[in-house]
Amino acid sequence: MRKALTIGVLGISLAIGFFSIAVKAEVVDRIVAVVNGDIITMQEIDGRLKTILKRQPTEDKVRINQIRRQILELLIERNLIAQENKKLGITVSNEEVDQAIERIKKRNSFTQEEFEANLNRMGMNMDLVKTDLRGQLNKMKLLNKEMRPRIIISDDQIDAYYKAHAQDYDQEDKVHLRNILLILPMNASESIIREKMNRANEIIAEINNGRNFADAAQEYSKGTNASTGGDMGLVAWDDMTPVIRDALKDLKDGQMCQPIKLGQTIQILQVVSRYGSNEKAVAATKKRIQEMLISQELKKKYNAWLKATRTKSMIKIKF
């Protein structure tokens, strides 16, 4: 982020006007917290506050200060993570940050110019995006490399949870689906619909030539589940519309349908696997329970680590 002017006070003989500019800059960029020697400035907080107020405008001073405090807590947490990763030798390279940006651009079909224009509309800039992405990658690496491997969920735990929540896991016929979703504009003309259909067919051809469906979904899908490879989870057969059932009825595991128009979207659906009232369905359910229990334990471990780390850290807040 571009720094406010802070180089004005270099000597007693400076002009009064120039000195007043420097004082204003110092107020804008004052230190609000020190985390084991690393500083957090008001400018860092207000840079993020600006983007939030763009999306959720308010003039309520109390609410604005609450948001500032929430941002400060997030920045303290990120500093603690970065410091821990430094001790452990866990790093996030500039290349990894750039790759994360490229994934965002591809997912939204943005050129560099379009991406930067969208950042500007949200009150952000590339430096802020890179800083925030680095923070997210730091946390993800800490979780996956240091905490997740230490979590063991036994078969007994899974079975106990399954029995206790059996009513939540009915065994009707279901299909594990992935999708690639392309969005149509409102009142799309026939030519635009054909254009999107052609694009979907190009994606299908790419997958038929060896591209992994999940990878293609991450790159091309506009759905909220794009980051998970278009994973839709298990969908009950009876809950599907006739159009979808007709498109999927003859597909085997791993196969995908031709593009279909669903509302304001064009979608490609892949049958990952089919499940009914059998051992295969129970195994899939228990696998999902295992992942859920791992996530719960991971959250507990992380929160415990964060609390302990904050307790033993030197954190001075001047908010």
> Residue 223's domain is classified under what CATH number?
3.10.50.40
pLDDT of residue 107: 79
CA distance 191 to 188: 8
- pLDDT tens by residue, 254-274: 999 999 999 899 999 999 988
Q: What is the mean pLDDT of residues 130-154?
A: 94
Please indicate, yes or no, if residue 204 is contained in any of the structural domains.
Answer: yes
CA distance 301 to 143: 9
Burial pattern 68-94, b for ≥16 Cβ within 10 A else e, equals beebbeebbbbbbbbbbbeeeebebee
SS3 label, residue 158:
helix
Parallel, antiparallel, or unpaired for β 174-183 and 38-41? unpaired
> In the chain, what percentage of residues exceed pLDDT 70?
88
Residue 155 has pLDDT above 90, yes or no: yes
One-letter identity of residue 251: L
CA distance 63 to 248: 50
Please indicate, yes or no, if residue 11 is contained in any of the structural domains.
Answer: no
Task: Give the pLDDT band of residue 56 (cuts 50, 70, 90).
Answer: confident
Query: Residue 202: CA atoms inside 13 Å, Cβ hemisphere, count?
Result: 8
Q: How many helices (H) and strands (E) does the chain have?
A: 11, 7
pLDDT of residue 160: 93
CA dihedral sign of residues 222, 224, 226, 227: positive
Residue 282 has pLDDT above 90, yes or no: no
As beta bridge partners, residue 175 has: 235, 274
Please indicate, yes or no, if residue 150 is contained in any of the structural domains.
Answer: no
Token couple for 37: 């020697």
- pLDDT tens by residue, 69-83: 999 999 999 999 999
Task: Give the pLDDT band of residue 11 (cuts 50, 70, 90).
Answer: very low
Task: Give the pLDDT band of residue 204 (cuts 50, 70, 90).
Answer: very high
Residue with more model confidence, 35 or 275 = 35
Task: Phi first, then psi: give them for residue 11, nearest 5 degrees.
Answer: -170, 160
Residues 6+ apart with CB under 8 A from 184: 192, 193, 196, 261, 264, 265, 266
Please indicate, yes or no, if residue 319 is contained in any of the structural domains.
Answer: no
Please indicate, yes or no, if residue 257 is contained in any of the structural domains.
Answer: yes
Please indicate, yes or no, if residue 57 is contained in any of the structural domains.
Answer: no
Residue 24 has pLDDT above 90, yes or no: no
* 33-37, 195-199, 277-281, 301-305: least confident range: 277-281
Q: What is the pTM of this model?
A: 0.60
Mean pLDDT, the chain, rounded, equals 86
CA dihedral sign of residues 209, 211, 213, 218: negative
> In the chain, what percentage of residues exceed pLDDT 90?
64
Task: Kindly state the DSSP code that residue 124 receives in the 8-state scheme.
Answer: -
Residue 44 near residue 125, CB atoms below 8 Å: no
Per the structure, the count of domains in the chain is: 1
pLDDT of residue 10: 33
CA dihedral defined by 236, 239, 244, 250, rounded to 10 degrees? Answer: 40
pLDDT of residue 265: 93
Task: Give the pLDDT band of residue 16 (cuts 50, 70, 90).
Answer: very low
Please indicate, yes or no, if residue 123 is contained in any of the structural domains.
Answer: no
Residue 193 has pLDDT above 50, yes or no: yes
Domain enclosing residue 215, as ranges: 172-276
- pLDDT tens by residue, 81-111: 999 999 999 999 999 999 999 988 887 888 8
CA distance 8 to 15: 10
CA distance 260 to 244: 8
Please indicate, yes or no, if residue 118 is contained in any of the structural domains.
Answer: no
